[in-house]
Amino acid sequence: MFGTVDAFLFRPIPVPQTDRIVRITSGTQSDALGLTSYPDFADLRERTMAFEALATTQELGAAIDTHGQGGSRVTFGLLVSGDFFKTMRVRPVVGRDFRSDEDQMPARDAVAIISYGMWQRDFGGSTDVIGKTIQVNRKELTIIGVVPQTFTGVNALLHPEFYVPRMMVEVVDDPGTRFLTDRNVRVAEVYGRIRPGLTLEQARAEVDRFAKQLEQENPSTNRGRFMGVYSQVGFRIAADPSNFTAALLFLLIGGVVLVIACVNVANLLLSTAPARTRETAVRLAMGATRARLIRQFAVESFIVSTVATAAGLGVAAIVGRFIRSIEIGAGLLPVWLDMQVDTRVALFAFAIGIASGILAGLVPALRCSRGDLEQLMRSTNPRVARSRTTFRQILVGAQVALATVVLVLSGLALESLSLLKKADPGFRVDNLFAMGFDSTLGRGLSVVESHRFYEQVLQRVRKVPGVEEAGLGHHVPLGLLGNQTDVVIEGYVMPEGQHALSVSSTIIGDGYFDTLRIPLVRGRTFDVHDTNEAPNVVIINEAMAEKYWPGRDPLGDRIEIRTPKVKSAQVVGIARTAKYRSFGERSLPFLYLPLAQSEESFVYLFVATKADSASFIPVVRDAVREIAPNQPIYDVRTMTDVVRRQALWSDTLTAQIATGVGMAGLLLGILGLYAMLAYSVSQRTREIGIRMAVGATSRRVSGMIVLQGLKWSIGGIVAGVFLSSILGSAIQDTFAPANPQDPIVYGAVITVLLAVTLLSCYQPARRAARIDPNECLRCE
C-alpha cells in the first residue's frame, strides 16, 4: 500500500537533496497553480536570491522518428531550460548535459538528450548513440546525452522520452506562437533548488514580493497574478486533493489489515502463555529479571517478524510488477505508475513489520512475567490455573470488526467501479474508434493544407461501406490530455481580482457531434461557413450555460477568448453536457472551438461503424493511404478500449487492490476466530467430557461451540458495520457514485462473514463432538 501511494504522491523527484527542490507557480483566483511565461521566468531567475538554481519544463507531445524499423510514433518529451539538469543535479550516463549557451539563442541549437528507455529500446544501449539524430516534429535533432535509468522526469505518471532546449520551442512546437517573448503565453512549469540555509517560507516571501513587483511593472499581462512556492508533495496535494484522500484511504485499508494481523499474532501467542508461564517462573527462580524476560520475548518476535517482513516484501515486488504493467495511456504515451519495492518502501516495511511483531509479542511477554514468583509457580499447576479467555475473545471480536470494515470498503470500491462502467459518458462508445493525424508535423504541410487534407479524408472515409459517420476532434474524450482556455464572458461579473475564467475546451471539426452522438440542445453546430475569414464562433455545453449565464440565454452573446491572440467570439450553440476528463467529474463547463478557425494541425479522426469498430480499422487506414500514402497515423484505438483501459484505470486499480486486501483481512480474521475456537475446545476438554458423561449429546455440544463462535463474530460484525458507516460517510466522495450506506453492500458483507464464521466453527465443533468422556475422565 505504501509503495503504491508513494509512487503517485509521496515519492520525491529522484535527484540528490531532493527536499530542496520546489515548484513555483503563477496563478490567479480561478487557477492558483497556473503555469509561467518565459519572460516572467527570466525576471524571476535574475531578480531573486533564494534559489541556488531555477529551471523550466514544458510538456511536448510530438511525432518522433528514431530512424529505426518502427517508423514515426507519437510520444512525450520535455522542453527544458539550460539549467534543468544542473538544477536537478542529474548527470547523463553517456554524453553531456546542455551547455549554458544552448539556452540563449532561439532555434539555433538542434540538440536533444534522450531517456534511458529510448536508448535501450531504439539504440540497443550502444555508446555510439552520441552524434546520431532523432526527428522530433520533422526537425532533426542531434543526440548529445542519455539520462540515468533512475531519473524518469518530474512527473509521477508521465515519463518523458527526450529533452530539448526550450530555445527550440518555436521550431518543434507551434511556429506561430511567441513562446519566448510573450508574457501572455504561459506554458512553463518552474522548478527551483532553494539555497542551503534558507527555508521554504523565506523562499515564498521573496517570490511573493517579486510577483507584486512584476504586477506593478506589467499591469496589462500580470494584473491579479500571484506566485506560489510549493514543496513537491504540497504541490501534488494542492493540484488534486482527491489524490491525498485516496492515499489516506489506501493507507487506512493497509493499516486495518496490519492491525488484524497484529491482533491475530497476539491472540495466538497468548494461547502459549500458560505453557510458558512455567518456563518464566523457573527463570525468575534462577535470578532473571522481568526486564530480561521481556527482552527475550521481544527478540523472539523480532526474528519472526523480520523473516515475515522479508517474505512480505517479496509478495509486494510481485504486486508492484503487476501495477507497473498497467497501461494508463493505452500505449500512446510513456505513462505508468512506477510502483516498486525500493529502499524507501523496504525501510518503511521493516520499520512497520518489526515494530508490529514486537508489539504483538509484548502482550504474552507481559502476561507471562506478571506477578511474583510464588504466584507464577502456583499458576503452573493445572489444578490451580484457570484459563482466562475474556481478553482473547475481545481480540477475536476486534479482528472480525476490522475485517468487516475492510470488506465494506472493498465492496464500495467494487460497487463504484460497477456503476462507473454502466454510467453514460454522454457520448457514443460502442462501434467507435479514433486515429490521430498531424500533417503539418508528419508531412510538412501548412495548417491550411492540413485542414484541406482532413476534409478529403472525411469525404473518403464516409464512403467506406459500413461506416455510419466520421468527424474530427483535437482530443479523445476521457483521454489523458486536455486544454484549458482563458475567457471573459460578456455580462458575467467575476470575483474581485480575477480577470479571466479558465474553462476546459477542445477543438472540433466537421461531423464531431453527429459521430459521437452529442446532441445540440439549442442553436447550431459549426458549418463550412465558419472559416478564418468569417466571424469567430464557439459552442458551449449546458453546464457552462447554467453557471455563467444563470437565468438568461447565452445564444448570440459574445465571449473574449484569451489565447495568445485575443479574439471575440459569438456563442452559436449549446451542447449536452458529457464526461470530458473522468467519469467521476461533476458537471464541467466546457467550450468547443472550430478547427477551421484555429491554427491546430493535430486531429483525431473519429469513425462510427455499423458493426465491431476494430474490424474497420484496416479498411479506414487503407482509405487514408489512398489519399496520402506517406501520412503517419498515430494512436489508433477504439473508444471501448479508451474507457476500459484509460478512463477507468485508477478506479479499476483501487477496486483490485481493495478487493485483494479485503480478502486478506477476511482470511486473517477467520483464521483468528478458528484458532480461538480450537484453543477453547482444547481448554474445555474436561468440561465437555463431563457434559457428555451426564447426558449431553454430540449435537448439543457442537451447537454450543458454534454458538460461542457466532457470539464473538456477531459482536464484531455489529461493531464493524457501525465503524464502516461512520467511515463511509466521512469519505463518501472517494467512492462516488456508490452510496456509502448501500444496504446491498452491507448485506453481502454480513452474509459472507456469517458464512465463513460457520465454516470456521465446523472443525472445532466437530472435534468437540467427538470427545470420548471415558478417555477424558480416565486421564483426569
- pLDDT tens, position by position, 148-192: 998 989 987 788 999 999 999 988 887 667 889 988 888 999 999
C-alpha cell at 200: 521554504
User: b/e per residue, 734-763, with b = 16+ CB within 10 A?
Assistant: bbbebbbebeebbebbbebbeebbeebbbe
Distance (Å, whole) CA 239 – CA 242: 9
Instruction: State the sign of the Cα–Cα–Cα–Cα dihedral 271, 274, 275, 279.
Output: positive
**Taking residues 607-630, what's their average pLDDT?**
90
Instruction: Report whether pLDDT(576) > 70.
Output: yes
- pLDDT score recorded for residue 273: 60
- pLDDT score recorded for residue 327: 61
Strand-strand pairing, 501-508 and 483-489: antiparallel
Instruction: Report whether pLDDT(79) > 90.
Output: yes
- pLDDT score recorded for residue 389: 60
**Taking residues 230-237, what's their average pLDDT?**
93
95 forms bridges with which residues in the sheet?
A: 145
Please write the tens of the pLDDT for every residue from 460-477: 999 999 999 999 999 888
Distance (Å, whole) CA 13 – CA 158: 13
- pLDDT score recorded for residue 383: 42
CA distances from 685 to 268, 340, 682 (A): 19, 50, 5
CA distances from 429 to 423, 509, 608 (A): 11, 19, 9
Instruction: Report whether pLDDT(343) > 70.
Output: yes
In the chain, what percentage of residues exceed pLDDT 70?
A: 90
**Taking residues 57-86, what's their average pLDDT?**
85
Instruction: Report whether pLDDT(683) > 70.
Output: no
397 neighbors 449 (Cβ within 8 angstroms): no
Instruction: Report whether pLDDT(374) > 70.
Output: no
Helix axes 698-730, 685-693, angle to 10 degrees: 130
Distance (Å, whole) CA 101 – CA 211: 27
Distance (Å, whole) CA 657 – CA 652: 9
What count of residues does the chain have? 780
- pLDDT score recorded for residue 328: 62
- Band of residue 370 on the pLDDT scale cut at 50, 70, 90: low
**Taking residues 247-272, what's their average pLDDT?**
79
Q: Residue 31: which of 497, 482, 475, 478 has the closest Cα?
A: 497
What residues contact 599, with CB distance under 8 A and at least 6 apart? 174, 176, 447
Output 285 or 54, whichever has higher pLDDT: 54
Q: What is the mean pLDDT of the chain?
A: 84
Q: Residue 121: which of 85, 151, 158, 146 has the closest Cα?
A: 146
What residues contact 527, with CB distance under 8 A and at least 6 apart? none
Instruction: Report whether pLDDT(735) > 80.
Output: no
Domain boundaries along the sequence of the chain? 16-239, 432-610
**Taking residues 7-16, what's their average pLDDT?**
87
Instruction: Report whether pLDDT(386) > 50.
Output: no
**Taking residues 418-427, what's their average pLDDT?**
87
DSSP code per residue over 50-76: SEEEEEEEEEEEEEEE-SSTT--EEEE
Distance (Å, whole) CA 650 – CA 249: 14
C-alpha cell at 539: 459552442
**Taking residues 667-690, what's their average pLDDT?**
75
CA distances from 612 to 284, 415, 461 (A): 79, 28, 16
